[in-house]
């Protein structure tokens, strides 16, 4: 209960800090009053949306390592640790990082969770974190684990965190811009042309929610493409056989979870194969398609 309360408090505190920082930035830039009796000041509105959309995305990226440690309980492993399993984990990550020509060794950590999961995060290639769950360490052998770690190192080498942040920031800006323009015209439908009324925050909020769903389609499509590329990079670093075995192990784990319904396993943020319309929101391609693509690679 204490951990949940602490994580919730930290989450709220970080978001308040982001909002406060962006609000001060708006004040300094002198933007924010984009609605007037004469209509919309599109230049001010676009600047406002870009600062909030891009600024929020990049502040979140800058804090990503800290938030992972705080909210997920990631413990960074001392490279000089005497625990054999953890020492081997660090050595494997560093070996793959050198093979990928990363400018600096990423931090390596683990977190106490039964889920089968691993992720990479960080603002730059020089300040990255690779974290794995206790469940993944327990369920995978050395070859499979190396495939998973190679996949995550490829995400760092490809600059995927920054790329996805840029995409998310642009989507955020467009969502904010379109929501306010549409809300303005809804609020002034049928009104006299000589005077305009600012739309209510409720209308803007509802439109942002609806447009954000459409934005998620774009972000998810880009994410799936980056996953295929990370698989290819993982195959180059650890060997195609290791990468395929890692994905097959994940496939078995997902099948077990779906069959027994005993636990919800977030296998590399995968919870089975999405169907129909929901497949458009999947951030990862189906495992069978990823395995087939690796097997068909020349």
Region of 74 please: left (phi>0), alpha (psi -120 to 50) or beta. Answer: beta
Question: If we measure between CA atoms, which residue out of 252, 221, 247 comes closest to residue 234?
Answer: 247
Count of CB atoms within 10 A of residue 226's CB?
20
Beta 129-133 vs 107-111: how paired, if at all? parallel
Alpha-carbon distance of 38 to 193, in angstroms, equals 8
| C-alpha angle 145-243-92 in degrees, rounded to nearest 5 | 40
| CA distances (Å), origin 54, targets 162, 166, 176, 204, 233 | 11, 7, 11, 19, 28
Alpha-carbon distance of 294 to 117, in angstroms, equals 21
Q: Are 243 and 147 in contact (CB under 8 A)?
A: yes
CA pseudo-torsion sign 269, 61, 160, 104: negative
- Any idea of the CA torsion for 264, 270, 272, 276, to the nearest 10 degrees? 120
Name the DSSP class of 39: E
CB-hemisphere CA count at 13 Å for 224? Answer: 17
Question: If we measure between CA atoms, which residue out of 298, 279, 292 comes closest to residue 223?
Answer: 279
Q: Which of 115, 152, 208, 232 is catalytic?
A: 152
Active site residue 289: no
H/E stretch holding 36 reads strand 35-36
CB-hemisphere CA count at 13 Å for 103? Answer: 7
Catalytic residues: 152
């Amino acid at each position: 209960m204490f951990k949940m309360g602490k994580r919730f408090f930290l989450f709220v505190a970080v978001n308040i800090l982001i909002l406060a920082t962006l609000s001060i930035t708006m004040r300094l830039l002198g933007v924010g009053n984009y609605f007037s009796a004469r209509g919309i000041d599109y230049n001010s509105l676009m600047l406002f949306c870009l600062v909030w959309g891009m600024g929020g995305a990049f502040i979140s990226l800058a804090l990503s390592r800290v938030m992972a440690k705080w909210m997920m309980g990631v413990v960074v492993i001392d490279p000089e640790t005497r625990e054999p399993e953890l020492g081997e984990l660090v050595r494997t990550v560093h070996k793959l990082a050198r093979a990928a020509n990363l400018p600096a060794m990423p931090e390596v950590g683990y977190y106490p969770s039964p889920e089968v999961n691993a992720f990479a995060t960080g603002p730059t290639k020089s300040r990255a974190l690779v974290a794995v769950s206790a469940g993944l360490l327990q369920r995978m052998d050395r070859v499979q684990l190396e495939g998973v770690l190679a996949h995550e190192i490829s995400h760092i080498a490809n600059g995927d965190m920054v790329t996805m942040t840029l995409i998310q920031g642009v989507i955020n800006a467009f969502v904010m811009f379109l929501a306010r323009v549409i809300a303005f015209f809804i609020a002034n439908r049928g009104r006299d042309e000589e005077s305009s009324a600012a739309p209510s925050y409720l209308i803007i909020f509802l439109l942002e929610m609806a447009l954000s769903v459409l934005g998620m389609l774009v972000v998810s499509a880009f994410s799936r493409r980056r996953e295929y590329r990370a698989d290819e990079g993982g195959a180059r670093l650890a060997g195609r056989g290791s990468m395929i075995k890692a994905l097959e192990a994940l496939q078995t784990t997902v099948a077990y979870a779906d069959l027994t319904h005993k636990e919800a396993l977030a296998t590399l943020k995968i919870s089975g194969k999405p169907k129909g319309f929901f497949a458009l929101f999947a951030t990862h391609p189906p495992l069978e398609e990823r395995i087939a693509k690796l097997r068909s690679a020349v």
